[in-house]
Amino acid sequence: MEDFIIWIPLVLLALAALLPLAVALLRPRAARGRREADIALYRAQLAELDRENEVGRLDEAGHRAATLEVQRRLIAAAEQTEGETRSARGAMAALVLLPLIVASGVGLYLLRGAPGMPSATYAMRAEAQQRDERLLATLRERLAALDPRSEQAWQGYVLLGNAERARGRPDAAIAAWRRALDARFDPGLAGEVAETEIERNAPAAAMPWIERGLREAPNDPRLRFLFGLAELQAGRPEAARTAWQALLADTPADAPWRAMLTQRLSSLP
């Protein structure tokens, strides 16, 4: 009986620990406007690349390389959105199973628990981080040995920038992407730099990349959208309105991102 009484507060403590999870599951989910917009813009870029190739402004090699890069980004964005959809479907099921999770956890702990065993979570996380840093260091060393104007170096710096951005280091990401852009300018990569600058609230730094990209790809919907976003962030909502209205006028009626653009326009002050 005494053992049973001892476990009552432990079970209550476990339920209290899972309470934030229940609150998170019940909270209305945030809109996925950013990822949906990304998917739509990547699809629009693919269509634009096909048009550029058809009229002869883009050779087959350039068209193939650019298409593969946009398709990679499209797949990544679609997978993330699909994962969120699966998560939403499982949220209510997880909420219903919370009491069972607590009971099962207590039972498993009673059978196989080892409270004296030291935790290895931090060590494992530190080891994984060190491994990633070693890989990045190796990539930097190999890039240093390459001709900075070579296609291999260009692709390596793009990869390095993507990795640095994923690790939450925008300065390093931009530095790597700029090395690639110094070797060969690419409007899509310029958009990555501009978007990262906007994310860290630096529209003045983003605008030159957007404008240069638009000089080479004036119909690129992503760059045109980022132009309006930079203007809005810089405190010029009327300029953003003008840019987005022009983009909306060129947007096909069945474009999947038209609704997002309309919503952005309606939210302007």
Query: pLDDT (tens digit, 9 = 90+) per residue, 65-122?
Result: 666 666 666 656 555 544 454 444 444 444 444 555 555 555 555 555 555 555 556 6
Q: State the residue range of the domain holding 47.
A: 7-112
Distance (Å, whole) CA 103 – CA 108? 9
Distance (Å, whole) CA 197 – CA 191? 10
Distance (Å, whole) CA 139 – CA 155? 11
**Residue 249 placed within a domain:** no
So what's the pLDDT on residue 159?
A: 86
Distance (Å, whole) CA 255 – CA 267? 20
Question: What are the residues whose beta carbons fall under 8 Å from the beta carbon of 249, sequence distance 6 or more?
Answer: none
Is the Cβ–Cβ distance between 264 and 244 less than 8 Å? yes
**Residue 260 placed within a domain:** no
- Please indicate, yes or no, whether the overall pTM of this predicted structure exceeds 0.95: no
**Residue 223 placed within a domain:** no
**Residue 41 placed within a domain:** yes
Structural domain tally of the chain?
Answer: 1
So what's the pLDDT on residue 255?
A: 85
**Residue 195 placed within a domain:** no
More confident residue, 56 or 171: 171
Q: What is the per-residue pLDDT across 209-254, written as a single tens digit (0 to 9) for each?
A: 999 999 999 999 999 999 999 999 999 999 999 999 999 999 999 9
**Residue 179 placed within a domain:** no
Comparing CA positions, the residue from 213, 215, 247, 207 lying closest to residue 231 is 207
Whether 26 shows a pLDDT value over 50: the answer reads no
CA 40 → CA 35, 44, 68, 100, distances in Å? Answer: 9, 6, 16, 41
Q: What is the per-residue pLDDT across 135-175, written as a single tens digit (0 to 9) for each?
A: 778 888 888 888 989 988 898 899 889 888 888 999 999 99
**Residue 86 placed within a domain:** yes
So what's the pLDDT on residue 137?
A: 85
